[in-house]
Amino acid sequence: MKKLKSEKKSKPKRKPYSEAKSDERVERNWKKTHGLFTRGEYSVAVIRCGTCIELSVNFAVRQELVVKRELPLSFVDKLLKNANGLRNKYLNIFLPIMAEHEKYYKLTKLWKNNIIAINKQRNAIVHSGEFRSNSAALKVMKKTYEALETIISFYEHNSEFKRI
C-alpha cells in the first residue's frame, strides 16, 4: 500500500542559521567552504575561509568573555560588531584577552603564519576582484583548517572540521 505524502517520513529540519551556536556556525561555514573548493569555486572558497576564521574568533571571544568572565552576551556581541573585521577582532579583542595565557605565543604565531595570509588572499579577491587557482586556494584552505583547529580546540565544542 502506498503512503500518502503526509505519511512519509521527513528529515528532521536543521536549526536555522540565525539560531545556531557560534561553534555550529563555524562548522557549517567550513562545510560550505569545503564544498565550494571541491566544486572548483576556488575564489569563493577563499572568501569563505576568511569568514570561517572570523566566526571562530567570535566563538573564542564569546567563550572568554561570556562563559568564563560572565559578561552579558549583548555587550560582547556589540564589541564584536563594532570591531568590524578579522584584523580588529583578532588583534584588538582576542589577543589582548589571551595575553596572560600560555596560549598567547601560539596565537600570535598563528596570526603571523596563517591568518594574515588568509585575510590578505580574501581581501585581494573581495576588494580587487582577483581570482584564485586550485593551488592558491588549497594553500589558504590548509592554513584555515590549521587556524580553526587551533582556535576552536582551546574551548569545549561539538564541531568537526573535515580535513583538506
Would the pLDDT of 4 be above 60?
Answer: no
Q: What fold does the segment set 22-153 form as a domain?
A: Four Helix Bundle (Hemerythrin (Met), subunit A) (1.20.120)
Output the pLDDT for position 148. Answer: 95
Question: Which residue do the cell numbers 605565543 mark?
Answer: 105
How many Å apart are CA 23 and CA 64, to the nearest integer? 14
Output the pLDDT for position 159. Answer: 67
* Average pLDDT of the chain, as a whole number: 91
Write out the three cell numbers for 16: 536555522
What integer is the mean pLDDT of 18-25? 87
* Domain parsing of the chain, residue ranges: 22-153
How many Å apart are CA 73 and CA 14, to the nearest integer? 24
Instruction: List, in order, residues 6 or more apart from 149 with CB less than 8 Å away.
Output: 161
CB distance 56 to 33 below 8 Å: no
Residue environment code for 100-138, b if the CB has 16+ CB neighbours within 10 A, otherwise e = eeeeeeebeebbeebbeebbebbbbbeeeeeebeeebbb
Would the pLDDT of 149 be above 80?
Answer: yes
Output the pLDDT for position 163. Answer: 75
The residue type at 106: K
Would the pLDDT of 5 be above 60?
Answer: no
pLDDT in tens, 63-83: 999 999 999 999 999 999 999
What's the predicted TM-score (pTM) here? 0.87
CB distance 129 to 43 below 8 Å: no
**Residue 33: which of 53, 13, 60 has the closest Cα?**
53
